[in-house]
Amino acid sequence: MSPETMTLFSPRLAARLDALVQKYPVKRSALIPMLLYAQDEVGYLSDAVISEVAERIGITELDVRNVATYYSMLRFKPAGKFNIQVCTNISCMLRGGYEVYERFQEELGIGHKGVTADGVFSLEEVECIGACCWAPAIQVNYDFHDELKPELVRGILDGYRFQAEGKAPHA
Amino acid sequence: MADVTFTVDGKILTAPAGTLLIDACRKAGIEIPAFCYYPGLSLQAACRMCVVRQEKVPKLQTACTTTVAEGQVFITESAEIAQARKATIQLLLGNHPLDCPVCDAGGECELQDMTFKYGAGESLYSEAKQHREEQQWSPAVFYDRPRCILCYRCIRMCGEGMDVWALGVQNRGVNSVIAPNGGDQLDCEQCGMCIDVCPVGALTSGSYRYKTRPWEMNHVSTVCTHCADGCKVTLGVRQVNGGAEIVRADNRDKSGINGDFLCAKGRFGFDFVENPERLTTPLIRNAQGKLEPATWERALRFAGEKLKEIRDSKGGTAIGVVGSNRTTNEENYLLQKFARTVLHTNNIDHERSTDYPAFALALAGHAGKTAGLGDIAAAPAILLVGGNPTEEHPLLAWTLRTSVRLNRARLYVANSKAIKLDRQARLTQELPPDGYKDLAAFLDLGEADFSKAVLAEESLVVVFGQECRGPAVADLVAWGLKRPNVRFAYLGDQANSRGAADMGLFPDLLPGYVPVTEPGGFAEYPGLPATPGKSLPAQFAAAATGELSAMLVVGANPVLGLGVSAEALKNTFVIVQDLFLTETAALADVVFTAVSLYEKSGTVTNTFGDVQMVKKAADRAGVKSDFEILVRLADAMGADIKTLVPFGKGGVLADLGQSRGAQAGEADRHSVWLAANNLEPRLSPFDPLAVLDEIERLVPGYKLDRINLLSGNPAHTELNLTPGFVPISALDGSDLAVPTHDGLFTSGTLGRYSPALNELEQHQTHEVAAPAGD
Ligand code: SF4
Ligand code: SF4
Ligand code: SF4
Ligand code: FES
Ligand code: FES
């Protein structure tokens, strides 16, 4: 992409994406990491993100959507500021993952793929996140919390609420 | 590659090493079921229906991806394989609705056939079916997700076959759907190829869906009436009150020069036939100046008497004739013969779009230098000069894409504009808009990479568009004739533009581009006028000054094309043969209601010189073919029909006033020719084949391979004038050629009467959001 072209992304991300496209023998190999980084910065894959990524790689928007819709980690609607992914796969299930998941639902008043009204939290039930040894586990954005019990849920949420208040004003 | 020998179900087979097992088996008559495999497209191996047992290999193998090698042993049907296929079908049916009784594909559905064969009618899965509403993506394409078996044929056809890439697959597992590029809309060429290759009823066509069942139709194989490429098309026809209507067009039998290809016009643009605006009874202008319905007898008698009176009082030069780019060769031939021998005029022309006479002249004396579409498909290298095949010659574009993809043909594009086929080109050369005439010199210079590469080709087909006319055609052809193994094709506009030119719808040229001044074999025409007549614009100019007292316009709309006013025709007696009340018909004194190409028999010639049979599919009351109308009109004028159409015994007793030699009156040359060619005389004056016989006998280049032709294949014609035979002055009509530039959804005046094409045009120009860039 030529430097004078408008971009949605921060200069840092734009530079990172520019480097990524050069990295593989075939440009489209860069598609998935590009989408992931773009989602991290923008929050979700908006139409504008899809169109810019397509243009950077030189494929159609349809191509981008074909790939992006396959992966449940890529989303097309904004998530909460903190996206809580609760594992209920086999190890976690055996060690009480469903109870933890239910407690999150009660505390937040939302279900699978829901977003709280203030936009601070979103909740997802996910498959194994690779933390089976410390099951049950959850992932909040890129942070892990493990060996959980339902009683610990409120404390975790309070911690993030505090962060949200301290660093970002309420919507 | 070298042949290898292998065993399938105990039979010893031989095929080139590397052939796909599924293809090798099909060739040998062993059927292997396949949902995702489609010949000519990339391999997908998504459906697992084609599994076979290969000796010494632990698991079942997919026949669509296994390549054959020496000594392999395969089993394609066994209890184990049947069980595997049945399990695959059970999984597919897990979410498949049981709506065969209403599904368009019912009766010709590959899933239905396989379920019958392997018996998975009862599903063992208890999961609830996931229903999704049917979606309409465009006026032509509907998608019904529950029926889709995710074989990816549509995606590959659109991408690889059409180079449009408008379809994709989204989501995962049971949630997967086929998705169009415009969100909920399809922004594409609307060819319907995706519908055609869908093995089930998941993609259905706007024009055919829910109309009928496959077994309720008759299927008639004929030729498309739109562009000049001449696709074979199978029309599905259903009996209705007062005739037969066309409900579907496809080419699933892959016959002819186009295989399974049809563009939007061929596939959906047949509905003009049923347009309620179709004229169904002849019209005569009454004393109040209004066109009113009349019987055929009255209209024919009136028109015939009037023409006779004008001819007898003012001579044939007071009559003008305009022919059509869509009527058959036999009709065009008959029209010019009628004009020349009954009306005694050379005032005959057609709406020229292409300078075929210049092409014929440039090739004079060089046999075997024109390329049929089959030659283009087989050519190792093609130089495309001008033109925009994707829009104006969809079949040619398809052929070139396929040949580049599958045969590694080398395509060179020289054009003043960027065209979509640049994407398939090995090299492109931009020309200035007026640069076509200098191309030959540019190539000979051999300086640019483009010229070097083209000059290095040992065998080349040069396909050129209508940008090349007159001297540009002559130069380009002369350039190619200097080199060995160069053949040519010239891109014209409509279904039988080439036929109109070949059949002599010219004021100065007889059929086969024979000058009227030196008529050769046509000297047997009784009363052939020797001086060239008036061109189309000259005819209308003469009508305006009162010099022309009558005009006969067949299947053409020159009033629109030339902007002729009613005033200019007020003193001319105008007869029009057409399907609709066109701008020209609206000014006529008598209108004869004609039929379309889909309602008649005969032959047409595509722009590559391939002659193909046209067969009558639809039928309706109150209309007649142009052929029959002309014969009846001649009869109403008191002409000798046997001289016009050689039928019955003792037809052409041409008495040319000579008593000796070949021109002497005693020989019936037509029956001599028939006997020499083992043909019987035709029995009816309305049989187009009678005229086809005469065309073969008299028209240079039209020596047709009858067996091929009658069995539905193209028979190539030659443009082989004798060198030095053509006076150049007679041919300089290059400025009379006006290209129509019909696109994917337009087709001259006829296209205006196709609701399907109008809707598609509307969809593509207004309803699809402008693409963000390509
Ligand atoms: S109609 Fe033709 S161009 Fe459109 S999606 Fe189907 S195959 Fe592609
Ligand atoms: S729509 Fe038809 S062709 Fe396309 S994937 Fe589904 S079943 Fe196959
Ligand atoms: S490519 Fe031409 S001949 Fe073939 S279907 Fe389309 S309009 Fe008809
Ligand atoms: S099962 Fe929960 S982290 Fe592996
Ligand atoms: S045809 Fe071989 S896997 Fe589908």
Measured between CB atoms, does B159 come within 8 Å of chain A? no
**End-to-end Cα distance, chain B:** 40
Q: Which atom of ligand 5 is nearest to the CA of B50?
A: 2
Measured between CB atoms, does B173 come within 8 Å of chain A? no
- Please give the mean pLDDT across all residues of chain B: 92
**Which chain B residues touch A51 with a CB distance below 8 Å?**
772
Q: Is the pLDDT of residue B729 over 50?
A: no
- Nearest residue in chain B measured CA to CA from A63: B168
Q: Is the pLDDT of residue B420 over 80?
A: yes
Backbone phi and psi for residue B374, each to the nearest 5 degrees, phi listed first: -65, -35
Q: Which ligand is nearest to the CA of A131?
A: 4
Q: Which ligand is nearest to the CA of B137?
A: 1
Q: Are B622 and B244 in contact (CB under 8 A)?
A: no
Q: Is the pLDDT of residue A8 over 60?
A: yes
The vertex-B83 CA angle with B78 and B89, nearest 5°, equals: 125
- Nearest residue in chain B measured CA to CA from A70: B171
| Whole-number Å distance between alpha carbons of B355 and B735 | 9
pTM of the model: 0.92
Q: Is A111 left (phi over 0), alpha (psi -120 to 50) or beta?
A: beta
At residue B671, the pLDDT reads 87
Contacts 24+ apart (CB under 8 A), B210-218: B210/B102, B210/B104, B211/B247, B211/B248, B212/B236, B212/B238, B212/B247, B212/B248, B213/B106, B213/B107, B214/B106, B214/B107, B214/B108, B215/B107, B217/B247, B217/B248, B218/B244
Measured between CB atoms, does B168 come within 8 Å of chain A? yes
| DSSP letter assigned to residue A132 | G
Q: Of the residues B138, B165, B193, which should be mutated to test ligand 1's pocket, given the most ligand atoms within 8 Å of the CB? A: B193
Note which residues in 65-94 of chain B have CB less than 8 A from chain A.
Answer: none
Q: Is B152 in the pocket of ligand 2 (CB under 6 A)?
A: yes
Asked if A65 lies within 8 A of B773 by C-beta distance, the reply is: no
- Compute the distance from residue B234 Cα to the ligand 2 centre, in Å: 22
pLDDT digits (tens, 9 = 90+) for B560-593: 999 999 999 999 999 999 999 999 999 999 999 9
Closest Cβ opposite residue A65 in set B166, B170, B772: B170
Q: Are B103 and B147 in contact (CB under 8 A)?
A: yes
- Domains along the sequence of chain A with CATH: 11-68 (1.10.10), 82-164 (3.40.30.10)
- Nearest residue in chain B measured CA to CA from A65: B170
Give the residue with greater pLDDT, B668 vs A153: A153
At residue A169, the pLDDT reads 43
Q: Which atom of ligand 2 is nearest to the CA of B197?
A: 3
- Compute the distance from residue A128 Cα to the ligand 4 centre, in Å: 4
What is the average pLDDT across A27-44?
95
- Atom 3 of ligand 5, residue of closest alpha carbon: B45
Measured between CB atoms, does B773 come within 8 Å of chain A? yes
At residue B774, the pLDDT reads 40
Q: Is B223 helix (H, G, I), strand (E, B) or coil?
A: strand
pLDDT band at B658 (very low <50, low <70, confident <90, very high): very low
pLDDT band at B725 (very low <50, low <70, confident <90, very high): low
Q: Is the pLDDT of residue B631 over 80?
A: yes
Residue B529: closest CA among B347, B733, B332: B347
Residue B7: partners with Cβ closer than 8 Å, 6 or more residues away: B13, B72, B73, B74
- Atom 5 of ligand 3, residue of closest alpha carbon: B266
Helices A11-23 & A47-57 angle (0-180, nearest 10)? 40
Helices B688-698 & B669-676 angle (0-180, nearest 10)? 90
Measured between CB atoms, does A142 come within 8 Å of chain B? no
- H helices within B73-131, ranges in order? 79-93, 110-118
- Compute the distance from residue B38 Cα to the ligand 2 centre, in Å: 12
DSSP secondary structure letters along B375-411: HHHH-SEEEEES--HHHH-HHHHHHHHHHHHHH--EE
Measured CA distances, B554 to B321, B582, B596 (Å): 8, 12, 12
What is the average pLDDT across B294-301?
98
> Hey, what are B72's tokens?
């392999």
Contacts 24+ apart (CB under 8 A), B299-304: B299/B590, B299/B592, B300/B592, B300/B632, B300/B633, B300/B635, B300/B636, B301/B636, B302/B590, B303/B575, B303/B590, B303/B592, B303/B633, B303/B636, B304/B633, B304/B634, B304/B635, B304/B636, B304/B637, B304/B638
- Domains along the sequence of chain B with CATH: 3-77 (3.10.20.740), 283-354+497-654+681-723 (3.40.50.740), 357-491 (3.40.228.10)
Per-residue H/E/C for B740-763: CCCCCCCCHHHHHCCHHHHHHHHH
pLDDT band at B649 (very low <50, low <70, confident <90, very high): confident
- Nearest residue in chain B measured CA to CA from A59: B774
Helices B110-118 & B79-93 angle (0-180, nearest 10)? 130
Q: Of the residues B142, B187, B189, B195, which should be mutated to test ligand 1's pocket, given the most ligand atoms within 8 Å of the CB? A: B189
Gap from B170 CA to chain A (nearest CA, Å): 5
Count the neighbouring beta carbons within 10 Å of the beta carbon of residue B55.
10
How many A×B Cβ pairs under 8 Å?
Answer: 29
Q: Is B198 in the pocket of ligand 2 (CB under 6 A)?
A: yes
Measured between CB atoms, does B188 come within 8 Å of chain A? no
| Whole-number Å distance between alpha carbons of A80 and B195 | 42
Q: Is the pLDDT of residue B325 over 80?
A: yes
Gap from A76 CA to chain B (nearest CA, Å): 12
Note which residues in 38-57 of chain A have CB less than 8 A from chain B.
Answer: 51, 55
Backbone phi and psi for residue B200, each to the nearest 5 degrees, phi listed first: -125, -165
At residue B667, the pLDDT reads 62
- Compute the distance from residue B233 Cα to the ligand 3 centre, in Å: 9
Q: Which percentage of chain B shows pLDDT scores above 90?
A: 83
Q: Are B490 and B350 in contact (CB under 8 A)?
A: no
Residue B218: closest CA among B598, B656, B477: B598
- Nearest residue in chain B measured CA to CA from A47: B183
Q: Facing residues of B54 across strands?
A: B74
| Whole-number Å distance between alpha carbons of B567 and B132 | 60
- Atom 5 of ligand 1, residue of closest alpha carbon: B166
Closest Cβ opposite residue A60 in set B165, B169, B170: B165
Q: Is A36 in the pocket of ligand 4 (CB under 6 A)?
A: no
Asked if B772 lies within 8 A of A66 by C-beta distance, the reply is: no
Q: Is B47 in the pocket of ligand 2 (CB under 6 A)?
A: no
Q: Is the pLDDT of residue B728 over 50?
A: no
| Whole-number Å distance between alpha carbons of A171 and A157 | 18
Q: Is the pLDDT of residue B756 over 80?
A: yes
Q: Is the pLDDT of residue A170 over 70?
A: no
- Give me the torsion for CA of B657, B662, B667, B668, rounded to 10°: -100
- Nearest residue in chain B measured CA to CA from A50: B772
Of the residues A69, A72, A76, A113, the best mutation for testing chain B's interface (the one with the most B CB atoms within 10 Å of its CB) is A69
Q: Which ligand is nearest to the CA of A132?
A: 4
What is the average pLDDT across B376-393?
97
Pick from A51-55, B190-194, B553-557, B706-710: least confident: B706-710
- Compute the distance from residue B744 Cα to the ligand 3 centre, in Å: 9
Pick from B68-72, B75-79, B97-101, B137-141: least confident: B97-101
Measured between CB atoms, does B179 come within 8 Å of chain A? yes
pLDDT digits (tens, 9 = 90+) for B513-543: 998 988 988 999 999 999 999 999 999 999 9
> Hey, what are B362's tokens?
């440039």
Q: In what order do the strands lie in the sheet with B427-430?
A: B427-430, B410-415, B381-385, B460-464, B486-490
**Which chain A residues touch B172 with a CB distance below 8 Å?**
69-70, 72
- H helices within B462-535, ranges in order? 471-482, 497-502
Gap from A155 CA to chain B (nearest CA, Å): 36
Q: Give me the amino acid identity at B665.
A: G
| Whole-number Å distance between alpha carbons of B99 and B741 | 44
Helices A47-57 & A31-42 angle (0-180, nearest 10)? 150
Asked if B170 lies within 8 A of A66 by C-beta distance, the reply is: yes
| Whole-number Å distance between alpha carbons of A67 and A63 | 7
